[in-house]
Chains A and B, each alone.
Chain A
Amino acid sequence: MPFDIYLNVAVGGLLTGLVYGLMALGLSVIFGVVRVVNFAHGEMMTIAMYIAVTLFSAFHLDPLLMLVPIAAVLFAFGYVLQAGLINAFITRPEHTQFLLLVALAIIIVNVLLILFGPDAQSVQTAYSFDSFQIGPLIVDATKTYAGIAAIVVAGALFLFFRSTRIGTAIRACADNYTGALVVGLDVKHLYALTFGLGAACVGGAGVMLVLIVDVTPSLGPAYTLLAFVIVITGGLGSMPGALIGGVLIGLTEAMAGLLFTPSAKSMFAFAILVLVLLFRPQGIMGKRTAS
């Protein structure tokens, strides 16, 4: 196969991987701070995707324009979820929290199924079939915009955590829960804020992803698992790790789809997960913490 095709597929995978990375970033932020394993992560993204699709088919609003409003909606959803439901479970055993989110995931997927049916829906914008040509490289316009948007949002998030007071406060909670309480931080509020941010991330990723793939309710669980593979591969609690993991998985998926059959690409993701869990459970960028 000519080198061009490999290159194009790889670049496409890389760009898609950036979006995956943003999705995983949300999960990483939530786990890194609130220490909750959000098993409803992909399902939350699917909500954002369906909102984008609905707005597009009803009002022809370009998803990328709707990025901020939809992310805001998901932020609110995440905030309320954490403040209203999950905060009460912080002190409960790990698997109880996990199952709580499993229950939410089941409800979300099937409510979406009832509302929208099982058929795939997609967004066809004016530029859906455009592509850019740079030398031998032919890149889809949708993937390019999505990738750029992902980098911008991720960058904004990094800045938020490094430079703002609230961001620093949130990092303090993550580092030392009791210490944060002792210095007077409203930890429950900060947790809710963080969950909201994680949800906004995944909402944003969903909006970008809707340009690239078709939406069905069953995407939820598939992307939840993918997010876990990425976050564990990149390093739980590491923000750069989530992005690196995302790109890695995006690339692997794309190349596996090219070299083997497309439908087998998730097998590679899972094989990577098993290998990481066994040999480097802290991931590429992670630190060995007492979890």
Chain B
Amino acid sequence: MKTLADLEEIRKRTLDNLNTRKDEHATRVVVGMATCGIAAGARKVMAAFIDEVAKRNLHHVTIAQTGCIGLCRLEPIVEVTKAGEEKVTYCKVTPEIAREIVASHLVNGVVPRQYTIGHYENG
């Protein structure tokens, strides 16, 4: 028999997964998955994002794919847009960097600048 607390627990737990169907205020994580992306290993990067989000029970996160944005030599490219904030583009992302991005940017709200395109281009 469930108590009110149990109900709340089920609600939170299931909502995280379901937000993909409804949420306009989610943090969007977009992984480049064109041929260049896939060739550079973007599949593993996406899998790392999914795994990390699931492990940490993060609320309001959607993970989507996109096509080629042109900077093929810098793939795998990941764009993270938090609601109300500017888009941050990361380049040459690896599964390890992906997990760092989740921890630093998504959870703590601190952008790990060393992995962004801006830093790569400008040193």
Same complex: no
Q: CB within 8 Å of A: which residues of B?
A: none
Q: CB within 8 Å of B: which residues of A?
A: none
